[in-house]
């Protein structure tokens, strides 16, 4: 077959060849190759319909990377008209390319096979891959019409020879009407036009397109404002990356609504909304107020896109819906991080204490720590009975009530509520943040222990108020099989703004190493409670932490 390939298609096939099981390029591998060329038109169309790499890998789990065909070899290739080596196609791919050539016969020659041409051929094929693409609402007829319009050609059902001769039909009932493959193809074309998701400005009310254009602009503008806040005000690399990814997803979803068509119907001068505003829109109290206003604007704009995009499936409403849900999670994470940064701004030293052998010994220890200004005291005791533990918790509440010291309960949100604690702390094996919130409500601090970067990132999205990061060094109070160490603390400090306390074996001898990693908060236990003079040990750590901050 005499074919010429665009540069993007050549890259797609080269990548696809690294996922083939033999020397032949199979259709599922080519779909994967299209998605791995993220800026090509076919990839934009696939993503707009909710198809991504994970979807392909889930549908075809047998697709595995291989080095056996990492690059097409001359013996496994054929030369196209442009002189470049083209990998040998499977029969399925040969059929797809043949359909693409036939359906686009009216285009100027020589025809360079572009990525959207390849996708169209795959979607038209009467095989497993073609059937699956049509199930994803990706129809060859709609793709063909869009391609022809790019060349200024009229759109009409394709007149092609059937892949199966008319006289070759499957056995049917004696009285059943027999339909040739060509007739079936024309019928499928008519049926599919009702569900094509590619935009056709000639079939839509211009005012609906104006509405979608305005909503798309509001969504992108609001998203950029939020991203700027997280990047420059909050200085959070993790959430900035999440927002940037969301912005790219939105751009891909809107790719089916060409900017040229949006601009053609845009009429800002005649828009009645440009002259209507309220006093509240003209004033922002602070950067956090800007953040809240733009998250609201973003979610409202996405909802409008989702609802009006359902009209003849102008835009992929299901994709927009998922993006809207994602904004709710990010809103919680960004807002929660902002509030925690403000609430825990001055906290530096976090001390874990047990219940001591007697109430008197407990009172003496806690009172001394509160007096020297320890920022947070956590009650952690695995040996006391519940009634005794609650008694200690209430004593800790009484002793900290008139001070700036926060009281956190370890692992027991029920007792935290009964003792009116400021917060509760859980580990990776305990209750989730969501479950804890069901018990303690929205205002109590919820801390989470994390031992790797993925856990830390997830805790931010889950709505944790602060992180425990460690273990940093071997500890005398708790045993661990692995130590993520100072490098983990450094990674969190560089990427996550949510308040984080390094924990695990930290004392005066290694504090500088922790501070040098960028973590300015530490949680300790033995370094203070096991010291000869706990108050003096706490004061020494506090002084060094405050000096580092200044």
Query: What is the DSSP code string of 77-136?
Result: EEE-TTS-EEEPBPHHHHHHHHHHHHHTTTS-SSPEE-HHHHHHHHHHSSSHHHHHHHHT
Rounded to an integer, the average pLDDT of 454-482 is 87
pTM of structure: 0.65
For 159, counting Cβ atoms within 10 Å of its Cβ (0-12 exposed, 13-18 middle, 19+ buried), the class is exposed
Q: pLDDT band for position 481 (50/70/90)? A: low
Confidence band (pLDDT; 50, 70, 90) for 166? very low
Are residue 184 and residue 212 in the same domain, yes or no?
Answer: no
Q: Across residues 406-427, what is the average pLDDT?
A: 98
Same domain (yes/no): 184, 234: no
CATH code for the domain of 401 = 3.20.20.70
Average pLDDT rounded to a whole number, residues 174-184 = 44
**Domain that residue 480 falls in:** 346-549
Q: 215 and 92 in one domain?
A: no
Same domain for 125 and 106: yes
Count CB-CB contacts under 10 A for residue 274: 9
Residue 40's Cβ-count burial label (10 Å; 0-12, 13-18, 19+) is buried
Please spell the DSSP secondary structure of 367-394, one letter per residue: HHHHHHT-SEEEE--SSS-HHHHHHHHH
Which of 11-15, 59-63, 152-156, 486-490 has the highest average model confidence (pLDDT)?
486-490
Residue 316's SS3 state is coil
Look up the CATH number of the domain holding residue 106: 1.10.1780.10
* Mean pLDDT value of segment 479-486: 76
User: In the prediction, which pLDDT does 135 show?
Assistant: 86
In a domain, 258, yes or no: yes
Per-residue pLDDT, 277: 61
Q: Looking at residue 262, what is its pLDDT?
A: 84
In a domain, 197, yes or no: no
Average pLDDT over residues 90-116: 80
Structure-block tokens of residue 546 = 């405050």
10 Å Cβ neighbour count for 412?
24
Average pLDDT for 4-16: 86
Q: Is the dihedral of CA 469, 475, 476, 479 positive or negative?
A: positive
pLDDT at 74: 31
Is residue 178 located within the same domain as residue 58? Answer: yes
The DSSP call for residue 480 is -
Q: How many CA atoms lie within 13 A of 347 on its CB side?
A: 24
Split at pLDDT 50, 70, 90, the class of 180 is: very low
The whole-number pLDDT of residue 53 equals 86
Please identify, among 171, 192, 213, the residue that sits at the C-terminal boundary of a domain: 192
Same-domain check for residues 165 and 208:
no
516 in the same domain as 386: yes
The residue with greater pLDDT, 501 or 484, is 501
Judge whether 183 and 302 are in contact, CB under 8 Å: no
How many folded domains does the chain comprise? 3
* Cβ atoms 446, 414 nearer than 8 A: no
Tens of pLDDT along 522-546?
A: 999 999 999 999 999 999 999 999 9
- Is residue 237 over pLDDT 80? yes
Residue 228 pLDDT grade (very low, low, confident, very high; cuts 50, 70, 90): very high
Q: What is the mean pLDDT of residues 381-401?
A: 97
Domain boundary among 135, 162, 192: 192
| Domain presence at residue 199 | no
In a domain, 293, yes or no: yes
Q: Of 340, 369, 403, which one is at a domain's C-terminal end?
A: 340
Q: Which of 88-97, 148-157, 181-190, 361-370 has the highest mean pLDDT?
A: 361-370
Give φ, ψ of 257 to 5 degrees. Answer: -110, 85
Do 335 and 401 lie in one domain? The reply is no
SS3 468: strand
Asked if residue 63 belongs to a domain, the reply is yes
Same domain, yes or no: 270 and 179: no
Are 231 and 94 within one domain?
Answer: no
Candidates 123, 158, 115, 162; CA nearest to 140 is 123
pLDDT tens digits, residue range 338-358? 999 999 999 999 999 999 999
Q: What is the pLDDT of residue 479?
A: 60
* Average pLDDT over all residues of the chain: 83
CB 408 within 8 Å of CB 424? yes
Q: Does 197 score more than 60 pLDDT? A: no
Highest-confidence range of 79-83, 108-112, 314-318, by mean pLDDT? 314-318
Phi first, then psi: what are they for 86, rounded to 5°?
Answer: -110, 125
Q: Is residue 198 part of a domain?
A: no
Residues above pLDDT 90, as percent of the chain: 53
Span 412-418, mean pLDDT? Answer: 98
Is the Cβ–Cβ distance between 97 and 3 less than 8 Å? Answer: yes
Q: Of 201-205, 208-212, 361-365, give the lowest mean pLDDT range.
A: 201-205
Residue 96 has pLDDT above 90, yes or no: no
Q: Per this entry, what is the length of the chain?
A: 550
Q: Which residue, chain included where needed, has tokens 């922002």?
A: 284
Mean pLDDT check: name the lowest of 1-10, 309-318, 323-332, 450-459: 1-10
Asked, for residue 252, whether it belongs to a domain, the answer is yes
pLDDT at 65: 72
Is 406 domain-assigned?
A: yes
Rama region for 479: left / alpha / beta (φ>0; ψ in -120 to 50; rest): beta
Q: How far apart are CA 442 and CA 336, in angstroms?
A: 11
**32-36, 291-295, 412-416: segment of lowest average pLDDT:** 32-36
Mean pLDDT of 182-206: 46
Query: Are 438 and 486 found together in one domain?
Result: yes
Whether residue 301 sits in one domain with residue 188 = no
Highest mean pLDDT among 58-62, 314-318, 405-409 belongs to 405-409
């Amino acid at each position: 077959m005499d074919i010429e390939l665009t540069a993007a298609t050549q890259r797609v096939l080269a990548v696809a060849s690294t996922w083939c099981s033999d020397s032949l390029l199979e259709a599922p591998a080519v779909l994967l190759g299209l998605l791995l060329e993220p800026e090509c038109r076919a990839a934009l169309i696939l993503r707009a319909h909710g198809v991504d790499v994970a979807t392909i890998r889930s549908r075809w789990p047998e697709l595995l990377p291989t080095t056996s065909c990492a690059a097409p070899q001359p013996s496994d290739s054929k030369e196209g008209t442009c002189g470049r080596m083209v990998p040998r196609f499977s029969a399925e791919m040969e059929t797809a390319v043949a359909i693409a050539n036939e359906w686009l016969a009216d285009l100027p020659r020589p025809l360079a096979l572009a990525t959207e041409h390849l996708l169209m051929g795959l979607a038209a094929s009467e095989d497993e891959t073609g059937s699956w693409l049509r199930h994803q609402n990706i129809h060859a007829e709609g793709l063909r019409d869009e391609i022809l319009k790019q060349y200024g050609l009229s759109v009409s059902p394709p007149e092609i020879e059937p892949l199966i001769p008319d006289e070759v039909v499957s056995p049917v009932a004696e009285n059943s009407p027999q339909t040739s493959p060509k007739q079936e193809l024309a019928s499928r074309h008519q049926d599919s036009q009702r569900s094509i998701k590619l935009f056709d400005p000639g079939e839509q009310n211009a005012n609906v397109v104006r509405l979608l254009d305005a909503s798309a602009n509001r969504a992108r503008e609001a998203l950029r404002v939020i991203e700027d806040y997280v990047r420059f005000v909050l200085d959070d690399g993790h959430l900035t990356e999440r927002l940037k990814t969301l912005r790219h997803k939105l751009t891909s979803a809107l790719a089916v609504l060409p900017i040229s068509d949006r601009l053609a119907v845009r009429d800002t001068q005649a828009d009645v909304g440009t002259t209507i505003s309220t006093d509240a829109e003209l004033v922002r109290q602070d950067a956090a107020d800007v953040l809240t206003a733009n998250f609201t604007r973003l979610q409202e704009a996405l909802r409008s896109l989702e609802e009006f995009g359902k009209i003849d499936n102008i835009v992929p409403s299901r994709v927009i819906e998922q993006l809207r849900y994602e904004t709710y999670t990010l809103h919680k994470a960004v807002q929660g991080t902002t509030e925690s940064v403000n609430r825990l701004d001055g906290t530096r030293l976090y001390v874990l204490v047990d219940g001591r052998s007697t109430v008197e010994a407990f009172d003496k220890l806690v009172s001394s720590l509160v007096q020297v200004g320890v920022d947070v005291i956590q009650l952690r005791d695995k040996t006391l009975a519940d009634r005794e533990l609650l008694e200690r918790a209430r004593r800790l509440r009484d002793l900290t009530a008139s001070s700036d010291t926060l009281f956190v309960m370890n692992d027991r949100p029920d007792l935290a509520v009964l003792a009116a604690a400021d917060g509760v702390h859980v580990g990776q094996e305990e209750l989730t943040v969501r479950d804890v919130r069901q018990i303690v409500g929205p205002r109590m601090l919820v801390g989470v222990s994390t031992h790797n970067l993925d856990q830390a990132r997830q805790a931010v999205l889950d709505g944790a108020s602060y992180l425990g990061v460690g273990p940093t060094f071997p500890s005398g109070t708790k045993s661990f099989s692995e130590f993520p160490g100072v490098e983990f603390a450094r990674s969190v400090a560089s990427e996550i703004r949510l308040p984080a306390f390094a924990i695990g074996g930290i004392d005066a001898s290694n504090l500088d190493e922790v501070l040098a990693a960028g973590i300015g908060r530490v949680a300790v236990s033995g370094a203070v409670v096991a010291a000869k003079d706990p108050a003096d040990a706490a004061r020494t750590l506090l002084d060094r932490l405050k000096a580092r901050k200044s």
